[in-house]
Structure 1
Amino acid sequence: MAQHNDLGRLGESLAKTHLEQAGYEILDENWTHGKAEIDLIAYKDKVIIFAEVKTRTGTGFGEPEDFVDTRKQKLLADAAAEYIFLMDHQGEVRFDIIAILFKNETSYRLNHIEDAFWPSA
């Protein structure tokens, strides 16, 4: 298995734990629709949160959150629209980014960016 896949899974696990400890209910993990995958779907205060987790080991090419470009945002929005339809959710939604930057194998920084973007139609 590729090392970057292991790192991504570790990041998603840390993000899930972070959300749970902050009082979020996890509704789904790695939910797919078409070509899009939503890493974590959570619920808190009547809001569905679609969270994209980005995990990196360095900032040579930018911060982890910089990798959620407009193309990725569009894919997430399309998948989120389908999820909202299937769940018949009538309330608010939010798109978050959880950026995790590892300094070494045991030390990392987690940055939860709430309402990180609103994809354009």
Structure 2
Amino acid sequence: MAAKDDLGRVGEQRAAAYLSDRGYDVLDRNWRCPAGEVDIVASRAGLLCVVEVKTRTSLRFGHPFEALDDRKVRRLWHLAHAWIDAHPGRAVHSRVRLEAIGIIGPDPRSGMLEHLVDLR
């Protein structure tokens, strides 16, 4: 596995733990369908939260949230609805919200973590 893959995997593990510690119920991780992949699907207070995780070792190539352009956000909405369609018994929520977690630092276990709660 490439170092980039390891970095992303460790970042996603930390993000899932962070969400769990804040009362989210992590329903799915790395869910794939023909349209793409969702990093984390979680539930909290009646919301279905689709969470994109971006892990970077530094800001050399920009902030992790800069990768979340309009095209990526539209794709995440599409994937959120695909997850709901694929999980009719588990997707009983009144609302869906996109979120993002950015982790910056050479070690994602201790790097700076930022949580963007409502990605539009």
TM over 0.5: yes
TM-superposition CA deviations, 1:23-66 (whole Å, max 9, x none): 10010001112231100000010100000000001112211111
CA positional deviation for 1:86: 3.2
Aligned match of 1:70: 70
CA positional deviation for 1:112: 0.7
Contact 2:48 2:95 in 1 (8 A): yes
How many Å separate the matches in 1 of 2:48 and 2:110? Answer: 30
How many Å separate the matches in 2 of 1:32 and 1:115? Answer: 22
Structure number with the bigger relative contact order (C-alpha 8 A, sep ≥ 6) is 2
- Is 1:96–2:106 an aligned residue pair? no
- Is 1:108–2:111 an aligned residue pair? yes
Q: Which runs of 5+ in 1 are unaligned?
A: none
RMSD over aligned Cα atoms: 1.5
Give the residue type in structure 1 aligned to 2:60.
G
Aligned match of 2:55: 55
Aligned match of 1:10: 10
Give the residue type in structure 1 aligned to 2:99.
D
Q: Which runs of 5+ in 2 are unaligned?
A: none
Stretches of 4+ aligned residues off by more than 4 angstroms = none
Q: TM-score, normalised by structure 1?
A: 0.88
Contact 1:96 1:115 in 2 (8 A): yes
Aligned match of 1:30: 30
Q: Percent identity?
A: 36
Aligned match of 1:45: 45
CA positional deviation for 1:90: 4.9
CA positional deviation for 1:85: 2.6
**Matched residue of 2:58: which SS?**
coil
How many Å separate the matches in 2 of 1:93 and 1:20? Answer: 18
**Matched residue of 2:79: which SS?**
helix
How many Å separate the matches in 2 of 1:108 and 1:15? Answer: 11
Q: TM-score, normalised by structure 2?
A: 0.89
**Matched residue of 1:40: which SS?**
strand
